[in-house]
Amino acid sequence: MGLTLSQKIIKNHLVSGDMTPGSEIGLKIDQTLTQDATGTMAYLQFEAMGLQRVKTELSVAYIDHNTLQNGFENADDHRFIQTCARKRGVRFSRPGNGICHQVHLERFSVPGKTLIGSDSHTPTCGGMGMLAMGAGGLDVAVAMGGGTYYIPMPKMVRITLNGKLPAWSAAKDIILEVLRLMSVKGGVGKIVEYAGEGVKTLSVPERATITNMGAELGATTSIFPSDEITRRFLAAQGREQDWTPLAADDDAVYDEEYVIDLSTLKPLVAQPHMPDNVVKVKDIAGMKIDQVCIGSCTNSSLMDMMKVAAILKGRTVHPDVSLAIAPGSKQVLNMLAANGALAAMIDAGARILESACGPCIGMGQSPKSAGISLRTFNRNFRGRSGTADAGVYLVSPETAAVSALTGVLTDPSEWGEAPQITMPDAFTVNDNMIEMPYSAAEAESHDIYFGPNIKEVPKGHALENSIDKQVVLKVGDNITTDHIMPAGAKILPYRSNVPYLSRFCFTVCDEQFPERCKEMQGGFIIGGANYGQGSSREHAALVPLYLGVRAVLAKSFARMHKANLINSGILPLEFADPADYDKIDQMDELVLQDIRDAVESGKTTATVFNKTKNETYTVSTDFSDRQRAILLAGGCLNYIAAQD
Please report, as ranges, the residues that interact with ligand MIC according to CB under 6 A.
37-38, 65, 119-121, 134, 361, 487, 535-537
- Closest contact distance (angstroms) between CB of 599 and ligand MIC is 28
Binding residue for ligand SF4 (CB under 6 A) from 252, 360, 549, 592? 360
- Sort strands 114-117 and 31-34 into parallel, antiparallel or unpaired: parallel
- Closest contact distance (angstroms) between CB of 321 and ligand MIC is 24
Q: Which of residues 59-98 bind ligand SF4 (CB under 6 A)?
A: 65
Query: Any contact of residue 538 with ligand SF4 (CB under 6 A)?
Result: no
Of all helices (H) and strands (E), which one includes residue 553? Answer: strand 549-554
Per DSSP, 271 falls in state: P
Query: Any contact of residue 539 with ligand SF4 (CB under 6 A)?
Result: no
- The residues facing 595 across adjacent strands are none
Cα–Cα distance for residue pair 240/225, rounded to 1 Å: 16
- Closest contact distance (angstroms) between CB of 499 and ligand MIC is 18
Question: Residue 121 or 483: which CB sits closer to ligand SF4?
Answer: 121
- Closest contact distance (angstroms) between CB of 221 and ligand SF4 is 15
Closest CA to 558 of 547, 569, 579, 572: 572
- The amino acid occupying position 449 is Y
Cα–Cα distance for residue pair 446/310, rounded to 1 Å: 49
Number of Cβ atoms within 10 Å of the Cβ of 439: 10
Cα–Cα distance for residue pair 203/193, rounded to 1 Å: 16
Residue 38's binding partner among ligand SF4, ligand MIC, none (Cβ under 5 to 8 angstroms by kind) is ligand MIC
- The amino acid occupying position 270 is A
- Closest contact distance (angstroms) between CB of 377 and ligand SF4 is 6
DSSP 100-148: HHHHHHHHT--TT-EEEESSTTGGGGGGGT-EEEE--HHHHHHHHTT--
Name the H helices within 183-227: 204-212
Residue 296's binding partner among ligand MIC, ligand SF4, none (Cβ under 5 to 8 angstroms by kind) is ligand SF4
Q: Are 423 and 303 in contact (CB under 8 A)?
A: yes
Question: Residue 122 or 413: which CB sits closer to ligand SF4?
Answer: 122
Question: Residue 144 or 590: which CB sits closer to ligand MIC?
Answer: 144
Burial class (CB in 10 A: 0-12, 13-18, 19+), 579: exposed
Size of the site for ligand SF4 (CB under 6 A): 11
Stretch that binds ligand SF4, among 230-238, 356-364, 506-514, 620-628 (CB under 6 A): 356-364
- Closest contact distance (angstroms) between CB of 535 and ligand SF4 is 7
Residue 99's binding partner among ligand MIC, ligand SF4, none (Cβ under 5 to 8 angstroms by kind) is ligand SF4
Binding residue for ligand SF4 (CB under 6 A) from 335, 361, 525, 553? 361
Stretch that binds ligand SF4, among 334-342, 355-363, 407-415, 612-620 (CB under 6 A): 355-363
Per DSSP, 590 falls in state: E
Cα–Cα distance for residue pair 57/29, rounded to 1 Å: 9
What's the farthest any 2 CA atoms get from each other in the chain?
71
Window 372-401: contact mask with ligand SF4 (x via CB under 6 A): -----xx-----------------------
Stretch that binds ligand SF4, among 66-74, 238-246, 353-361, 586-594 (CB under 6 A): 353-361
Binding residue for ligand SF4 (CB under 6 A) from 125, 142, 357, 463? 357
Number of Cβ atoms within 10 Å of the Cβ of 16: 12
The three-class DSSP label of residue 98 is: strand
Window 175-204: contact mask with ligand SF4 (x via CB under 6 A): ------------------------------
Per DSSP, 216 falls in state: G
- Closest contact distance (angstroms) between CB of 536 and ligand MIC is 4
Residue 226's binding partner among ligand SF4, ligand MIC, none (Cβ under 5 to 8 angstroms by kind) is none
Question: Residue 121 or 158: which CB sits closer to ligand MIC?
Answer: 121
DSSP 433-473: TEEPPPPHHHHTT-PPP--TT--PPP---PPPS-EEEEEEE
- Closest contact distance (angstroms) between CB of 510 and ligand MIC is 20
Name the H helices within 264-415: 281-284, 302-312, 330-339, 341-348, 397-406
Contacts of 206 (CB under 8 A, 6+ apart): 127, 170, 171, 303
Residue 536's binding partner among ligand SF4, ligand MIC, none (Cβ under 5 to 8 angstroms by kind) is ligand MIC
Query: Any contact of residue 296 with ligand SF4 (CB under 6 A)?
Result: yes
Stretch that binds ligand SF4, among 125-133, 312-320, 357-365, 569-577 (CB under 6 A): 357-365
Q: Which of residues 92-151 bind ligand SF4 (CB under 6 A)?
A: 99, 119, 121
Contacts to ligand SF4 by CB under 6 A: 65, 99, 119, 121, 296-297, 357, 360-361, 377-378
